[in-house]
Chains A and B, each alone.
Chain A
Amino acid sequence: MKKFFVVFTASALFVLTFTRVARPWQAQVEVVSKIEKIPKNFKTYSLFLVCNPQWLAPEKSEGLYGLYRQFQSFGRTIGDDNAAVWFWKEKRHVGADSSLAENVDVERSVRFCQAWKLTPSEGPHLVVTTVYPDESSLSAGLPKGSAVYGLGSMSPKDISALLAKLTDDLIGKGQLESTPAAGTTPLALWVRLLDATQRTLNSFGCAWTFKLDAGPVNADLHACKSE
């Protein structure tokens, strides 16, 4: 009986140790090949879907590589209970060259984009869901409570800020505090008018410049600082 207890304890310790070691790399999931499935038993799944053909062009290689690096950092910081998923065709060295785009499993991403009705031109997309993204039942549509972010028009800085915010939500609260869909409730007409007035006044305020050219003294004053 004592021997059984020792064996049982050792086994339990082994399983626990293995679990603690194995989870960190699982949080950042790089699914390679078409047959490899997305691992289960995570609280949330953050899928990076590249469906936008523009991002596969050679001139976008650097941008795509930047996105992949941000995915890596995101996957490492969201904890063991949350998975960040990236689809590859095969396992190979990742660099900022045209081979990166060739190795991204676009076809697999496209299946998600089609089933979840994501507009490719707004991509790459980041979809965060608490429901396991089962590829055999994609036709059921986007799971309820999922958050979809179109990263196509965002700068690397904006993407970085978004991922930081998502990391805060996933680590701190274990879920997304505010999905992008929740923030798109239509505004009242008077609020939109007020908003338009503010934008007009702001743009008017930026329209003037003051130049002073008095021999040795030159001054060029702008109302708004242009980036």
Chain B
Amino acid sequence: MATLQLDQVVKSFGDTQVIKGIDLDIQDQEFVVFVGPSGCGKSTLLRMIAGLESTTAGDINIDNQRVNELGPAERGLAMVFQSYALYPHMTVEDNMGFSLKLAGVSREDRRTKVMEAARILQLEPLLERKPKALSGGQRQRVAIGRAIVRNPRIFLFDEPLSNLDAALRVQMRIELARLHEELKATMIYVTHDQIEAMTMADKIVVLQGGVVEQVGSPMELYHHPRNRFVAGFIGSPKMNFLNAVAEEGSAQGVTVRLPGGGSVSIPVDGGQVSEGQALDVGVRPEHLRLDDSGPLKAQINVIERLGGQTSLYVEMDDELITLMVDGDVAHRVGDVVQFGFDPSRAHLFSADGQALQSLTRHPLASLTRQDNRAASEAEA
């Protein structure tokens, strides 16, 4: 069992508070991703969990045991660094076996364990090599192998894929997911890339400025972002925000007047909304549809054709709006288009950035780990 619980964890460097009181609950075997922009504190948080940074206040509990005072190895954790941090003067085998050597494990036992990890990661042919004779992807696998050998309670990953090229990154993402299945371990993964977060996580923790903005499954964050920040951070291309004015609001829905004059009724809880209140309407590019009777009208500035899909960048009232439409759309730059959206796909945000509560939940938003795995696995 490997659970992690953070209780009002705070970290200050001198007078600057970098982590401002975070609560978090991580279940056994969960793949949790910490994601956020640069400087949000995700790496710091990871390092505090690892034991490489001290905790200024609050408790870190692993398996219900407070570990604040324990060193990294005593906490039963292993970490894969962004730069891999392999020991340059040791062979791959020695790199992977170093922790066992420090623990006084015998040579034969060390070899057995290292071979096991090497098998999982297909590193057998590389055991005698030194890190400088390895490619980036190979080094990364050695770093992972080093962590596996330790048989930790929780695996920590600090942006492990950022130093790899795009193709390798996709490959390694799948590898890591497979690894997660095979090892059945709890994993905490830090990245600034929200695509990695969306594809790999059971649970995503969105951080900004040392504070947790939202915790949830990928689909939950996508369909029900709790505030403007999360809405704009998750999903690529970024969500569009339109300035709107509330016409009428009740617990059954809110009608807003869009820029350009059109009106639309959005199914959110508008009990607190007053007439004339300024609101932001959030619609994702993929949910905007070209519609000659749509309430919005704008001129196309830039077209990006990817083949299967086309991105249209239109300008409306000095705002640049992105539409993601089917690849066969034949418009050209300069065309004026009309478009609209399904109101149930839209989000409303009040001036303080909070999202108004949606009246319906998207079916996929409640997806759990089990649902994503193979049926046979679920039965086991």
Whether chain B is bound by chain A comes out as no
Using a CB–CB cutoff of 8 Å, the interface residues on chain B facing chain A are none
